[in-house]
Amino acid sequence: MIRTHQTPCTLEFCPAYARLGVCGFYETRQLSSSSDASRGVGGGVDAGKDDDDDDDGEVKDDSPPVVRAGGWTLFEVALVDQQGAGEQAVQYVPHQTQDGPAILDQQWTQDVNPPLLLTADADGCVSTYQLHLSPAPTLRLVGSVSCASPGAVGAMSLALDISDDKKRR
């Protein structure tokens, strides 16, 4: 079991190393005021605007801001012998945890050397991580790009779809 206080949102196993996986997490917290939102650390702050129009056609802003916090955990699946039972059990060994905005989707590329993981998050960013196996499995950030317009409030990157030319030929 991977212990976390946040809700697992997405789970992806590395196609090149099937024993390695990444679990993305999501937690929504309502802040008590908009000044709390400015102190939020990574986590897709949404000003709380909804689609309800008042009589003037303006959007109402009567709900508190929301922070979408989360992150991911890189883990390894291993079979371990049960003491004295002669059976094996599945064990999830965490290798690395990264806190930040909620991870809404993630996908591994089909690259073998080195495998790449792309994540879509609640801050409207797509980030690329490279898998390193030695001395222990870790993910290192290669780069990140914002998919939101500058100044956009509540913009999120919801899903990824990676096309692999190798499979299409």
- What are 86-127's pLDDT values in tens digits? 788 888 999 999 999 999 999 999 888 899 999 999 888 999
- What are 137-165's pLDDT values in tens digits? 999 999 999 887 766 666 776 778 777 66
Cα 46 versus chain centre, distance: 17
| Residues of the chain by 3-state class (helix, strand, coil), percent to 5 | 5, 50, 45
Q: How far apart are CA 16 and CA 2, in angstroms?
A: 22
The count of residues in the chain is: 169
Question: pTM, whole model, 2 decimals?
Answer: 0.74
